[in-house]
Each structure stands twice: as C-alpha cells, then as structure tokens.
C-alpha cells in the first residue's frame, strides 16, 4: 500500500485505499469490456477503427475523387469484413468473445480498398496515436484483425489510465474527485473502445490537473518552477491536439498567467516559455480547423448540410436563431450517462435517479480530502479571476459545441440542434470542481456514503450486462 500511496502522491492511507479501489474497479471493468464488448458496440467505433488504420497507411486527408463527403483511406479487405460483420448485426449482439467466433478466424491481408470515415477525419491524426501504433506494428507482425483490434483497444486503455494516474498524482487536492470521474461509466467505456474521445478526455483531465497544481502553488504565493511550466506546457500541447473545441479550455490559463505575473511568481524566461506554448498550441488548433473546414461530415450521413447556407440562415434572422440556440442549450439533459449500444434502448442509460445520485456524489466529492490537506485562503481579490477563467472556458466549450453541431451537422434552417451527446462534456466538468476547497473534517460515516454513491451507475451498468447475457 505504501508504494501505491507514493505512486498517487497520497499520505493518507484510507484516502489512498478509496482511490486505489476506484481505479482498480474502473480498470477491471474497462479491461473486461475490451474483450467482451463486441466491436462497434460503442458510439462511432467502426469509423474510428477505420481512421486509425488509414492513418497507419499514410492516408491523412484523402478523399474519393474530390468528394468532400467521402474522406477516408485504404483498409484491408479482412479488416473491413471483420468490422462490417458486427455493424450489420447491429445492436442485437453487444456482448461476446468475438475473437473466438468464426469471424475472429479471419487472417491478415494486404489487399486493400477505399473506405470512407468522414466523421472521424476532422480530428487530429495524433488523437489516434495509441491505435495507430498497433496498426503500424501489425504490418510486421501480420496478426489477425481480431487480435489487432484487441491490441488497439488495450493500447488505448493503457494510454488513458497512464494519463489518469499521472493526473491524480499531480493534483494537490481533490484526488478523489478525479477517481469519481474515473468511475463514470461513459468515461470508463470510452477507455475500453477505439474512440477519438479517449485521447481528448485523457488530455483534458491531465491539463486540468497541471493547471490545478500551478493554481495551488500560486495561491500559496510560491514561484512557478521550471518543472511546473514544462508540465503545463506539455498538457497545453496535448489539449490543442484534442477534438475541437477542446482548445477553448486554454482560456483558463490566461487568468493564471496574469495573476502570477502581477504577483511576480515566475521569472521572465518561464513567462515567455508559457506564452509561447499557449500561442503555438492555439496556432496548431487554428491550422487543424483550416485543414478540415471543407470536410462535410453531415453530407456523409446523407443530411442536407451546408455550413455557409446555415450561416446565411442565421444572419437572416439573428434573434430567432439566438432564441432557438439558447433554448437548446438550457433545455438539454446533461445528466444522462451513456452506456453505449445495447440490445434494447432501456439498457443504454441508467435510470435518472441513479444518474442524479452519481452527479450529487461527484459534485460534493471535493468535501472529501486527505487528512493532511492544507487549506489556503487567498486574500488577494485578483485570485477570483482564476476560478472565473475555469467557468468561462467550460461555458465557451459548451456554447461552441452546440454551435459547431448546428453549423456542420444540423439541417439548414433547422429549429433544433442535432448530434449533441452528453459524453462530449464529461471530462470538462472537472473544471468546475477544482477550486481550492475550505472544508471541515467529515465524519467517516458521511465519507462512506459519498464513496458508495459514486459506484451506483457502474453497479447498474454491470446489472444491465448480466440481464442482457442471461
């Protein structure tokens, strides 16, 4: 246990035990899903699978004879046959040892053909790094599509959990809050699938941990070290590579730099280095947007989508658009916990009461801190802008997500915004729960209840799996 406490940067044995148990359960369930959830049973997994293979073949922004709705690349015939087998079966068979089935016996093939994966092309190619690594290695190993698929999922899972453990280690407080997030079934199942969300969630969580570490340091009016600056700069770069609009989270860095500058908490070289990292990362995000601006993801799904026509419609009646826009944002149910595809829609999400209990436990998770947690009260008024920056960046991401989906996925002139999913905001919610807490010690009975509530949705998911199997 001492080694685990050291790994996670925890000095409280009970606190370390709770966090370790949460991480272990999360990893075990994710690992089981790698082997027992059929390919394509998570949202858009087939497209992300194809995209990872296409990138490994050097097809970064390739389309089918200039058709902006058909971006993709080369995929081997057996890889296509493997995934198409499960796509055609639909949600009837969500679970099973797919690698032991007849389709799992398909062998490696070098014969390829073009496969569109337009809805996965807008994401930065490096988002697929854990999966591309396996696909590249398989060019020499010649493993079957089923084994390759398992290794791709495993590679992503290891990548995500490495970032998660690193984030908990770096967090100066509220480590339990990150552990509760790790128990979120949507995040957990994303970690076990092939998805662009995996890299995005991992990068966002690590960035928030780095930012919180720096914030806590300057709250104590201590200088930002070279190590702090390097960690924050790397996390900024990772976020700039994540799914658009993740780069908007970088807005939360500006108040931190402003406060540190005013209080003279870093030397000039570190200030210049962080500003360079921030500027470079924003330029990387801008470049990605320019590269993907012509990719028509809506048209790929046969939808009447045209960004410029949509903009023209918006400007033709701005008050009407704003009324619809804010209605959609404020009426959306953000509390739904997505469980992926299932045999029946009932099994695709837990009951509302279960979700509400989990989010209550998540929202108050900051009340549970280590016994030796050192609370810091900052009397300087300007410090408030740091927390304001976190809230502002969260809202910017929220508003931008709805706007992007209206422009690129919703029908022209539509009175609703299509394509919004709760999983898009899961990792970003951590921004709202990393303020510096001032708390009294909770009774052990209260702590036990808060810990137990965090497991409710995961327990329901496992019950759903049991019911679908038997």
User: Cα separation of 8 and 170, whole Å?
Assistant: 8
Is 70 exceeded by the pLDDT of residue 12? yes
Instruction: With beta carbons less than 8 A apart as the criterion, state whether 408 and 299 touch.
Output: no
Is 70 exceeded by the pLDDT of residue 380? no
Is 90 exceeded by the pLDDT of residue 295? no
Instruction: With beta carbons less than 8 A apart as the criterion, state whether 440 and 341 touch.
Output: no
For residues 280-304, give the mean pLDDT: 74
User: Cα separation of 224 and 217, whole Å?
Assistant: 7
User: Cα separation of 147 and 135, whole Å?
Assistant: 11
Is 90 exceeded by the pLDDT of residue 178? yes
How far is the CA of 355 from the CAs of 44, 333, 335, 446, 450, in angstroms? 23, 11, 6, 20, 14
Q: What pLDDT does 7 receive?
A: 75
Place 268 in a pLDDT band, splitting at 50, 70 and 90: confident
Place 66 in a pLDDT band, splitting at 50, 70 and 90: low
Helices (H), 37-144: 45-56, 77-89, 129-141
State the chain's mean pLDDT as an integer: 88
Q: Which residues of 208-224 are buried (b: 16+ CB within 10 A; e: fewer)?
A: bbbbbbbbbbbbeeeeb
Q: Per-residue pLDDT tens for 279-290?
A: 998 888 888 878
Of 53, 42, 45, the closest CA to residue 78 belongs to 53
Give the distance from CA 336 to its chain's centroid: 16
User: Cα separation of 237 and 340, whole Å?
Assistant: 30
Is 60 exceeded by the pLDDT of residue 212? yes
User: Cα separation of 411 and 417, whole Å?
Assistant: 8
Is 60 exceeded by the pLDDT of residue 299? no
Q: What share of the chain is helix, strand, coil (3-state, %, to 5)?
A: 65, 5, 30
Instruction: With beta carbons less than 8 A apart as the criterion, state whether 182 and 141 touch.
Output: no
Q: What pLDDT does 59 receive?
A: 87
Out of 4-18, 90-104, 185-199, give the one with best mean pLDDT: 185-199
Helices (H), 222-317: 226-241, 253-262, 268-292, 297-300, 307-316
Poorest-pLDDT segment among 1-5, 101-105, 224-228: 1-5
User: Cα separation of 233 and 330, whole Å?
Assistant: 34
Q: Per-residue pLDDT tens for 85-127?
A: 888 887 677 888 888 888 888 888 888 888 888 888 888 899 9
How far is the CA of 282 from the CAs of 155, 168, 246, 292, 313, in angstroms? 28, 26, 11, 16, 29
Q: Is this model's pTM higher than 0.85 or not?
A: yes
Q: What pLDDT does 191 receive?
A: 95
Q: What pLDDT does 69 receive?
A: 67
Q: Using CB atoms within 10 A of its CB, is residue 66 exposed (0-12), middle (13-18) or buried (19+)?
A: exposed
Other C-beta atoms lying within 10 Å of the C-beta of residue 414: 16
For residues 367-393, give the mean pLDDT: 79
For residues 196-223, give the mean pLDDT: 92
């Amino acid at each position: 246990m001492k080694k685990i406490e050291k790994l996670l940067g925890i000095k409280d044995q009970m606190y370390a035990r709770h966090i370790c148990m949460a991480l272990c359960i999360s990893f075990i369930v994710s690992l089981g899903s790698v082997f027992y959830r059929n390919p394509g049973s998570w949202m858009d997994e087939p497209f992300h699978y194809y995209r990872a293979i296409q990138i490994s073949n050097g097809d970064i922004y390739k389309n089918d004879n200039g058709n902006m709705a058909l971006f993709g690349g080369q995929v081997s015939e057996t890889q296509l046959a493997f995934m198409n087998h499960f796509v055609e079966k639909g949600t009837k068979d969500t679970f099973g040892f797919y690698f032991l089935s007849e389709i799992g016996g398909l062998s490696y093939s070098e014969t390829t053909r073009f496969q569109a994966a337009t809805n996965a092309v807008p994401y930065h190619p490096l988002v697929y790094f854990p999966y591309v690594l396996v696909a590249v290695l398989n060019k020499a190993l010649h493993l079957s599509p089923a084994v390759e698929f398992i290794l791709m999922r495993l590679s992503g899972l290891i990548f995500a959990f490495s970032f998660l453990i690193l984030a908990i280690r770096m967090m100066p407080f509220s480590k339990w809050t990150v552990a509760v997030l790790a128990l979120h079934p949507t995040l957990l199942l994303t970690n076990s699938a092939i998805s662009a969300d995996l890299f995005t969630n991992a990068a966002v969580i690590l960035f928030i941990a780095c930012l919180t570490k720096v914030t806590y340091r300057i709250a104590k009016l201590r200088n930002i070290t070279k190590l702090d600056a390097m960690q924050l700069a790397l996390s900024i770069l990772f976020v700039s590579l994540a799914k658009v609009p993740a780069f908007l989270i970088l807005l939360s860095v500006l108040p931190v730099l402003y406060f540190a500058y005013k209080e003279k908490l870093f030397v000039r070289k570190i200030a210049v280095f962080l500003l360079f990292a921030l500027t470079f990362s924003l330029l990387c995000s801008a470049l990605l947007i320019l590269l993907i601006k012509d990719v028509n993801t809506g048209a790929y799904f046969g939808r009447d989508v045209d960004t410029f026509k949509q903009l023209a419609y918006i400007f033709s009646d701005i008050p009407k658009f704003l009324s619809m826009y804010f209605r959609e944002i404020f009426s959306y149910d953000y509390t739904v916990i997505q469980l992926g595809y299932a045999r029946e829609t009932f099994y695709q999400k837990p009951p509302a009461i279960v979700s509400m209990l989990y989010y209550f436990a998540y929202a108050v998770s900051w009340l549970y801190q280590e016994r030796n947690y050192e609370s810091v009260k900052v009397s300087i008024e300007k410090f408030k802008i740091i927390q304001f920056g976190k809230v502002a960046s969260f809202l910017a991401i929220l508003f931008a997500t709805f706007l992007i989906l209206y422009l690129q996925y919703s029908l022209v002139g539509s009175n609703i915004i299509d394509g919004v999913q709760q999983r898009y905001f899961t990792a970003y919610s951590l921004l709202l729960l990393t303020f510096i807490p001032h708390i009294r010690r909770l009774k052990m009975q209260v702590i036990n209840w808060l810990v137990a509530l965090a497991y409710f949705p995961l327990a329901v998911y496992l019950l759903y799996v049991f019911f679908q199997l038997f």
